[in-house]
Amino acid sequence: MFDYVVIGGAQAGLSIAYHLKKLGRKFIVIDSKKEVGASWINRWDSLKLFTPTEFNHLPGLNFDAPKGHYPSKYEVAAYFKKYVEEYEIPIKLNTLVTSVSKKKDKFYIKFNDGIYESKNVVVATGPFHIPYTPPCNTKISKNVLQFHSNYYKGVHQLKDGDALVVGGGDSGYQILDEISRDSSRTVYFSGDTKVKTLPQQFLGKTLWWWFTRIGFLRYNKYSWVGRVLSGVTQPVIGVDVKGILSRNNVIPVGRTKDAEGKKIRFTNTTVSSIQNIVWATGYRPNFTWIDGLALDHHGYPENYRGVSSIEGLYFIGLPWLYTRGSATLGGVSKDARYLADFFDKK
């Protein structure tokens, strides 16, 4: 019997584990991946954070890199491994949770080859659950190479010939940038070409320094400003969107509408020459494995600052759990501190 079982071993799970260790609670962190940091390592090779070092610290241990540096996915994974070692966090890998249920005052956490019992459960699985691709992807010829950005590693995966990138967020534009650097390949882009952008640096300071200075990251989702911000599409940060879209081999085609074989229909045109598609079309939340959980209209758990309607069940690392920074590497620490104080009073 554990006091707490933490599901998820990335930044959210490690942050709350730090506090559980300090509180002297009996707990374990479980993660479906084969190694610490795998959720980052498995993303595309050139990925870098859009937050500099000084805004990426987990509680108790600073990210060991120069100020102003934008870490790679490998540096993030190495930091997580160091964090686990530094605080001797008990973690069980290769453990996929299939269900969580509560009977009386006890939670039963079933996983691929066993079951844990615990008084409390903290779900720290983050916002990226089910990779989403539009239904029309099934109508596209099997000769066209398709994969979601979750499985994209680099240009080396692509076949010769034209490519299509679908999705106008940070991932979509970063992948579009990488693929279109080869000027001999035509790259079609299906996404918002009028997306708002923000530079990583402004007047000699990082964007995140300005966010902190003006209090942008402090607005919570229950405030008037927070309600407005949480409903606005997040701008693309640190990417030269205009420069990418101005390349001769990049052709914006509007929204992806439908497909039949090799013919893919967009708002502006129909194209038949595409050989590769990267769907940078986001994710859908999945909490169906938690018995009796109430969800909001976005499919996320109903909660207040991570405290759910089921006594003893908590969440951390979700988008706008409390502020815009709740799902970021550095922002998760404040939510972990709040939950730790809540646990300490129990």
CB 30 within 8 A of CB 110: no
80 CB-near residues (< 8 Å, 6+ apart): 9, 10, 11, 14, 36, 37, 40
pLDDT at 334: 93
Q: Where are the domains of the chain?
A: 2-129+285-344, 132-196+233-279
Cβ density class 177-203: b for 16+ within 10 Å, e for less:
bbbbeeeebbbbbbbbeebeeeeeeee
Q: Look at 122-131, 132-141, 251-260 and tell me which has the smallest mean pLDDT.
A: 122-131
Q: What is the mean pLDDT of residues 229-234?
A: 71
Q: How far apart are CA 32 and CA 223, in angstroms?
A: 36
| Residue 2 φ then ψ, to 5° | -100, 155
Q: Look at 112-126, 228-242, 256-270, 309-323 and tell me which has the smallest mean pLDDT.
A: 228-242
Q: What is the mean pLDDT of residues 266-295?
A: 95
Torsion of CA 295, 296, 299, 302, to 10 degrees: -50
More confident position, 225 or 57: 57
pLDDT at 71: 92
Residue 234 has pLDDT above 80, yes or no: no
pLDDT at 207: 62
Q: How far apart are CA 4 and CA 342, in angstroms?
A: 13
Q: What is the mean pLDDT of residues 181-189?
A: 95
Residue 13 has pLDDT above 70, yes or no: yes
pLDDT at 205: 66
Residue 32 has pLDDT above 70, yes or no: yes
Q: How far apart are CA 294 and CA 310, in angstroms?
A: 9
Over pLDDT 70: what percentage of the chain? 94
What's the pLDDT band for 127 if we cut at 50, 70, 90? confident
Residue 237 has pLDDT above 90, yes or no: no
pLDDT at 201: 64
Residue 288 has pLDDT above 90, yes or no: yes
Comparing C-alpha atoms, which of 271, 185, 237 is closest to residue 49? 237
CB 20 within 8 A of CB 14: no
More confident position, 85 or 44: 85
pLDDT at 206: 64
pLDDT at 209: 56
pLDDT at 325: 81
Q: How far apart are CA 221 and CA 279, in angstroms?
A: 29
Q: Look at 77-91, 143-157, 261-275, 316-330 and tell me which has the smallest mean pLDDT.
A: 316-330
CB 266 within 8 A of CB 256: yes
pLDDT at 51: 84
Q: What is the mean pLDDT of residues 223-239?
A: 73
pLDDT at 208: 61
Q: What is the mean pLDDT of residues 246-257?
A: 96
pLDDT at 46: 87
Name the superfamily (CATH) of residues 132-196+233-279: FAD/NAD(P)-binding domain (3.50.50.60)
Domains 2-129+285-344 and 132-196+233-279 alike in fold: yes
| Mean pLDDT value across the chain | 91
Q: How far apart are CA 321 and CA 326, in angstroms?
A: 6
pLDDT tens per residue across span 309-338: 999 999 999 988 888 888 888 889 999 999
How many degrees, rounded to 5, is the angle at CA 199 between CA 279 and CA 208? 100
Residue 195 has pLDDT above 90, yes or no: no
CATH class of 2-129+285-344: alpha beta
Q: Look at 32-36, 158-162, 219-223, 227-231 and tell me which has the smallest mean pLDDT.
A: 227-231
pTM: 0.90
Residue 261 has pLDDT above 80, yes or no: yes
Q: How far apart are CA 64 and CA 104, in angstroms?
A: 45
pLDDT tens per residue across span 79-122: 999 999 999 999 999 999 999 999 999 999 999 889 999 999 99
